[in-house]
Amino acid sequence: MTEYTAPTDDIKFLIDDVLDYYGHYQKYPSYEEATPDMVEMIITECAKFCETELAPLNQSGDKEGCHLKDGKVTTPAGFKEAYQNFVDGGWQGLSHPVEYGGQGLPPSIGLIRTEMLGTANWSWSMYPGLSLGAMDTLIRHGSDSQKNTYLPKLTEGVWSGTMCLTEAQCGSDLGRIRCKAEPQEDGSYSITGSKIFISAGDHDLTENIIHIVLARLPGAPKGTRGISLFMVPKILVNEDSSLGEPNSVSCGALEEKMGIKASSTVLLNFDGARGYLIGEENNGLEYMFTYMNNARLGTAMQGVCSAELAYQISLPYVKERLSMRSLSGKKFPDMDADPIIVHPDVRKMLLTQKAISEGGRAMIYYAGKIVDDMEQCGDEQEREALNDKLGFLTPILKGFLTEVGFESANLGIQVLGGHGYTKEWGLEQIVRDTRVATLYEGTTGIQGLDLLGRKMLMERGKTLKSFANEIMGFCKDHSLISSDPHKLRMHKFIWPLSKAVFNWQRYSLQIASRARKDRDLIGSASVEYLMYSGYITMAYLWAMMAQKANEEIAKKPDNIDFYRAKVRTAEFYFERIFPRIKTLSKTMMAKPRSLMRITSEQF
Amino acid sequence: MTEYTAPTDDIKFLIDDVLDYYGHYQKYPSYEEATPDMVEMIITECAKFCETELAPLNQSGDKEGCHLKDGKVTTPAGFKEAYQNFVDGGWQGLSHPVEYGGQGLPPSIGLIRTEMLGTANWSWSMYPGLSLGAMDTLIRHGSDSQKNTYLPKLTEGVWSGTMCLTEAQCGSDLGRIRCKAEPQEDGSYSITGSKIFISAGDHDLTENIIHIVLARLPGAPKGTRGISLFMVPKILVNEDSSLGEPNSVSCGALEEKMGIKASSTVLLNFDGARGYLIGEENNGLEYMFTYMNNARLGTAMQGVCSAELAYQISLPYVKERLSMRSLSGKKFPDMDADPIIVHPDVRKMLLTQKAISEGGRAMIYYAGKIVDDMEQCGDEQEREALNDKLGFLTPILKGFLTEVGFESANLGIQVLGGHGYTKEWGLEQIVRDTRVATLYEGTTGIQGLDLLGRKMLMERGKTLKSFANEIMGFCKDHSLISSDPHKLRMHKFIWPLSKAVFNWQRYSLQIASRARKDRDLIGSASVEYLMYSGYITMAYLWAMMAQKANEEIAKKPDNIDFYRAKVRTAEFYFERIFPRIKTLSKTMMAKPRSLMRITSEQF
C-alpha cells in the first residue's frame, strides 16, 4: 500500500506566507466565509479523507482495474463506497455556487482539494474531476433551465459529467469532428457518432452521467467554426431532475491503458441520442476553450501530485536503505553501511522531486488566485487582463508541470533501483499513471503552440511583457539596491532570475521577428520555449518562497528547519535545475532547417 | 502486434563503411571465416528469425507474462518453440569457441545478433542473453573440467545460465553479500542463502540452468575482498554432462514488475545446494568485473533496441495520421488535413529517436571492435590499453544509452498522443520494458561513479586522454586545414566536436583537482559527467557517419537518399541534441554544497 500524508505545512506556507490567500479573499465579499479557521478545517478534513479513504485504494485500484460487462463499467472494489463518502462530505460542490447547493468557496480552495484527492489516488479523483469541467461549462454557457435541472445533482455529486471531444480520426485537430447533431421538432437534437478516450465515460459511481459533446449541425461551416456543444445525459432527465428513460448512449469499449487503470476510459456510441444545445449554434469550440483553461490547470496538478507522491515514497527509503559509504568518509560508522541519503546523486534525485513538487504547487496556487480574481472581478478590462494572464500561464503550467512531474516520478523508480521497478513500492504505478498527463487535455506540443503561437505571437507579447514586469518588480524589491534586510541572501536568486527574464523577452522578440519569414520556427521552437518559460516561472515562485522563508528565519521561529529547507531547496533549484534554460535557449533559437530538410522518404 | 524489420542497411553502413569490420577481421587468422558473404548471410538469417519468430511474441508475451506454479516458472505461449528454433539454428554459440561447439565468429558479430533479438523481443532475448554472462565467466575463469562438462551444453543452448549477485539487503554494494559457501569433503561447497531479482532464474526453456553465484566462505575477509564465485547447477551434472539429481535450489517467488513481464525475474533459495568454486577463493568480485563489461554492453544495447523499435512504430504513424495544417502552408491540399510528419515538433521527436538509435548502434559497434581486439590481442601491454579503453567506454555506453533509449521510447508514446498510451500500439510496453535498463547491471548512478571515480580519477585521466586524442585526430583529418574534399561540409561537425573534446579534458582536470579537497564532488558531478561524456562520444560517431556518408554521396550512388539521411540526422544531432552539454557542463561543475547542505531532517 502506498501511503500518503497531505503536505499541510507546505500548503499553509504557500497560502499564509507566500501568496497571502487570506488578504486576497478579504477583497471579495463573496469570499467572506473563507476565513483562516474555515480553510484550515477544510484542509484538515480533506487530508483525512484522502489519507484514510483514497490512498488505501490506489494500488488495489491499479491492480484490479475497471471492468466492462454487458455494456456497463464497474470500478474497482472500494471506489463506490469512497465516492459515496465524498458526496456525503459535500466535497464536490466546495467552490460551486450556493444557489445550486455548493459551498460557494473560492476556486483556489477547490484546487487544494483537487491536489489532495489527486495525490492520494489520481485514478479515483478523475471521476469527480471530469464533472468539474461539465459543471463549469453549464454554469458559464447553459440556459437557466439547464442549470436548474442539472447543476444541483452535479454539485451534490450524485450525477457526474464528462467531456466528449476526441474521435478516432481527430484529437488535437477538433475541426475535423464528424459527430452529427440533427435538430428535432421538440427543440432537442439527435446526436449520432462515436467518441473515443472518454474519461469517466461510464462507471457505477453515480446515478446518471451528463455528457458534454462536441458535434456538427447539418450544413454547419467546415472546420472549427461549425462545431456546437451539446449536453447528452446517459439517462434522460425530467424537468424536476428525476430520472426518465435511458438515452441512446452506449459504452462500446473499455480502453486498455498503460496506467490510470482504475479510471475508466471508454468509447461511447451515440445512436440518435437525445441532446440539448448549450449556448448558441456553432460556438462550441469557443465554449470548450473556457473549459480548457480549468481542465488544463487540473491536469497540470497531476504533475505536482505525482512528484509529491514519488517524493513521499522515496524519502523514507533513502533514510533506511543502506548501501556503500559516503565518499567524504563514513557517516554512520556503527552501521554496516551508510543510508543512501548520504550520496550526492541520491540527494540530487530527491531534491529534484522536492523542488518540482513544491515549486509546481506554488505555480498552481499562484494561478488559483487569478481564477478567483476572474470569478469576482467586475471590471471588464481588468477581467480581460486576468483572462490573458491565466491564458498565458495555463499552457506553461500544463505542459511544463506534466513533463517535470513525469521526470520526478521516474526518478522515484531510479532512487529505489531494482525495487522501484517492482509493483510492490507503487513508484512504477505513479510513472504509468502520470505518463498520460503530457497527452490528454492537449499534448505538450499543443501547449507549446498555444503558448508561442497564440498567447505570445498573436498577442504580440503583451501578456509576457506584463508578467515579466511583475517578476522584474519583485527582483527590484529584493535586489542589492533595495532596502530589503535579506538582500544579500537573495542576490543568488535575483541575479539569475532577472537575467533570464530579460532574455525571455529578448528571445521572444527575436522569435516573433524571425517567424514572420519562417513560419516553421513557431513549431520548431514551441516546446523548448514552453519548457524555458516553465523553468523561469518556477524560478520566480522559488525566489518568492526563499524570500518569505528568509523573512521567517529572521524571526527565529520554532520550526526553523522548515524554512531553512525552503531556502536550501530554492538554492538547489537555481544551481542544478534552472541552468537547463542554457540548452533550451540554444536549441529553441536554432533554425528549423535541421528539422525540415530531411524528406519524408529519408526518414 | 508490433512488427519489426531489422535495419540491415543501417547495420551494413556501419560495418562496411564507417567501422570497416572486414578490414578489422582480416587482421586476425581466427576470424578468417568472417567474410562479407558469411556475415551478410548471418545478418539476413538472423533478421528473418527475429522478424518472423520473435517479434510476433513480443506483445503476447507481455500480456500473458510468466507463471509460477509448484515452484516452477513457465514462459508465455510460443517462447519455448521459438527458443528451440534458436537452438536448432545454432545462434547461441555464434561467437563462442569452436572447441565447445560454437562457431568461433568474432564477438562483434554476436553483438549484431544480440541487437536484432533484443529489438524484436527484449524479454525473450534475456533468456539466451543471461547465458552469455555465465559462459564468459566459465571460459575465462573456469577449470578445464568445468569447461568440458558445462560449456558444450551452454554453447548449444540446451542449458542456460544466470548471474546471482543481488540479495535483499544489497544490490550495488556487493561487499555486503551474506550468502554462505561451506567447503565439503568432496571438494564441492554447500551454498546457503537467498538471491533476489535473478533474471532467467527459473524457466521452462532449457533442460538445466547453471547459476553463477557470489557467496562467502567461512572466515572470509569482510567486504568485497571476501567474496567467491560458485557454479551451482539447478540439476546436478555428471562428468559426462548427463543430468543427475535435482540440486537444493528452489524458486521462492516470481517478481511482479513494471515491464519485461515475459522475462522471469525470481527469488532463488539455495538450501545447502551443491556448488563448485570458480577460480580462486575470495576472488569473486574481480571475476564479476570481467563479466560486467560484457553484461553492461548488452544492457546498453537495450537503449538502442528500444529507440529503434519505438522509431519503427512511430514512423508509419506520422506519415498516415492526419492532423492540422503545416504552419508554413498546406502540404497536402487535397487531403482533409496534413499528415503530422509536416509538423516541426513531430519531426523533432522522430529525429531524436533516429539520432539516438543510429548513433547508439554506432557507439556499441565501435566498442564491439575493441572486444574483438581484446580477444585476439597477443601483446600484454596493448591488451591492457584495450581493456582500459573498453572499461572507460562501458559505463558511458551503459549509463548514457539506457537513459536516452528510455527518452526515445517515451517520445514514441508522445508522437502517438493518446493512442500511444493504449496497449494497442506497443509503445507503452517499450517504455515499461526499457525502464529497467537504467537500473539493472548497475544503475546510472553506479555507472557515473565507475566512470568518474574509477575510470577517470583513479587512472588520472589516461584513457580519457588517449580517447580524446583519437577524436582530435579525426577532427584534424577532416578540418578545414586538412586536404579532405568534404572539409567544408564537415566544418559544422568538426568545430563543435573539437571544442567539446577540449572542454571535456579541461573539466575533467578541474574536477580531479577540486575532488582532492571535496570528495563529494565526485558523487555530485558523476551522472552529469557521464551524460556529458555520452553526448560527446555519440557526436564523434555521428561525425564519423556524416563523413563517410558525404564520401558516398560524392560517388553519386543509387541510394543517395540513404546517405543524405545520415548527413541530415547528424546535422540534427549537432544542432538539437548535442547542445545539452551546455547545461550539463554548468551543473556538473557546480559545487556539491546545494546538495549536501540540506540536513536529513530538512528533507
Residues 6 or more apart in contact with residue B473 via CB below 8 angstroms: none
- Separation of alpha carbons A450 and B324, rounded Å: 14
**Alpha-carbon dihedral B339, B341, B346, B349, rounded to 10 degrees:** 140
pLDDT at A75: 98
Q: List, for residues A60-85, the tens digit of each pLDDT value.
A: 999 999 999 999 999 999 999 999 99
* Interface check B592 vs A, CB under 8 A: yes
- Separation of alpha carbons A103 and A39, rounded Å: 12
pLDDT at A565: 98
* B359 inside domain: no
pLDDT at A483: 64
* A89 inside domain: no
Helix axes B344-376, B520-554, angle to 10 degrees: 100
**CB A578, CB A572: distance < 8 Å:** no
- Mean pLDDT for B335-342 is 95
Residues 6 or more apart in contact with residue A350 via CB below 8 angstroms: A311, A314, A315, A318, A341, A415, B603
pLDDT at A1: 59
- Separation of alpha carbons A29 and B410, rounded Å: 48
Average pLDDT of chain A is: 96
Inter-chain CB proximity B345 and A590 less than 8 Å: no
Q: Closest residue of B to A588, CA-based?
A: B576
| Three-state secondary structure call for residue B175 | helix
- Mean pLDDT for B404-419 is 98
- Separation of alpha carbons B268 and B167, rounded Å: 10
What residues of B are in contact with residue A603 (Cβ under 8 Å)? 315, 341, 350, 354, 565
Tell me the three cell numbers of residue B350.
522522430
Question: Which of B329, B438, B592 has the CB atom closest to A344's CB atom?
Answer: B592
* B530 inside domain: yes
B143: Cα separation from own chain's centroid = 28
Per the DSSP assignment, residues forming a β-bridge with B199 are B265
State what percent of residues in chain A have pLDDT above 70. Answer: 99
* A478 inside domain: yes
Give the range of the structural domain holding residue B587, as residue numbers without chain letter: 456-593
* Interface check B33 vs A, CB under 8 A: no
Q: Given a cut of 90, is residue A292 above it in pLDDT? A: no
DSSP A210: E
* Phi, psi (deg, nearest 5) at residue A333: -60, -25
* Confidence class for position A230, pLDDT limits 50, 70, 90: very high
How far away is chain A from the Cα of B516, in angstroms, using its nearest Cα? 10
Q: With a threshold of 0.90, does the pTM exceed it?
A: yes
Count of beta carbons in the 10 Å neighbourhood of residue B424: 15
Q: What share of chain A is helix, strand, coil (3-state, %, to 5)?
A: 60, 10, 25
Inter-chain CB proximity B256 and A351 less than 8 Å: no
Inter-chain CB proximity B197 and A561 less than 8 Å: no
Residue among A543, A521, A544 nearest A590 (CA) = A521
A527: Cα separation from own chain's centroid = 18
* B298 inside domain: no
pLDDT at A485: 65
* Phi, psi (deg, nearest 5) at residue A105: -80, 165
**Alpha-carbon dihedral B553, B557, B561, B563, rounded to 10 degrees:** -40
Residues 6 or more apart in contact with residue B416 via CB below 8 angstroms: B313, B314, B317, B321, B425, B427
Q: Given a cut of 80, is residue B311 above it in pLDDT? A: yes
* Confidence class for position B488, pLDDT limits 50, 70, 90: confident
Q: Given a cut of 90, is residue B291 above it in pLDDT? A: no
Q: Given a cut of 80, is residue B483 above it in pLDDT? A: no
Question: Which of A439, A520, A572 has the CB atom closest to B595's CB atom?
Answer: A572
* Interface check A357 vs B, CB under 8 A: no
Q: List, for residues A94-149, the tens digit of each pLDDT value.
A: 999 999 999 999 999 999 999 999 999 999 999 999 999 999 999 999 999 999 99
- Mean pLDDT for A336-361 is 97
pLDDT at B487: 73
Helix (H) or strand (E) holding A160: strand A159-164
pLDDT at B251: 98
Residue among A117, A92, A110, A111 nearest A102 (CA) = A92
* Interface check B527 vs A, CB under 8 A: yes
Q: List, for residues B16-63, the tens digit of each pLDDT value.
A: 999 999 999 999 999 999 999 999 999 999 999 999 999 999 999 999
Inter-chain CB proximity A348 and B423 less than 8 Å: no
Residues 6 or more apart in contact with residue A149 via CB below 8 angstroms: A237, A239, A240, A241
* Confidence class for position B473, pLDDT limits 50, 70, 90: very high
* B436 inside domain: no
* A561 inside domain: yes
Helix axes B122-141, B79-88, angle to 10 degrees: 40
How far away is chain A from the Cα of B255, in angstroms, using its nearest Cα? 7
**Could you report the predicted ipTM of this complex, rounded to two decimals?**
0.97
State what percent of residues in chain B have pLDDT above 70. Answer: 99
* Confidence class for position A484, pLDDT limits 50, 70, 90: low
Residue among A584, A586, A242 nearest A404 (CA) = A584
The DSSP string of A482-521 is S--TTHHHHHHHHHHHHHHHHHHHHHHHHHHHHHHH-THH
- Mean pLDDT for B97-107 is 96
pLDDT at A289: 82
State what percent of residues in chain A have pLDDT above 90. Answer: 95
Q: Given a cut of 90, is residue B316 above it in pLDDT? A: yes
* A488 inside domain: yes
B315: Cα separation from own chain's centroid = 24
How far away is chain B from the Cα of A571, in angstroms, using its nearest Cα? 6
C-alpha angle B258-B263-B267 in degrees, rounded to nearest 5: 85
pLDDT at B91: 98
Active-site option among A115, A156, A441, A528: A441
Q: List, for residues B148-161, the tens digit of each pLDDT value.
A: 999 999 999 999 99
Inter-chain CB proximity B323 and A170 less than 8 Å: yes
Q: How many domains is chain A partitioned into structurally?
A: 1
Residue among B62, B70, B566, B123 nearest B358 (CA) = B566
Q: How many CA atoms lie within 13 A of A20 on its CB side?
A: 6
Inter-chain CB proximity A582 and B583 less than 8 Å: yes
* Interface check B576 vs A, CB under 8 A: yes
Q: Given a cut of 80, is residue B232 above it in pLDDT? A: yes
B255 given a catalytic annotation: no
* Confidence class for position A479, pLDDT limits 50, 70, 90: confident
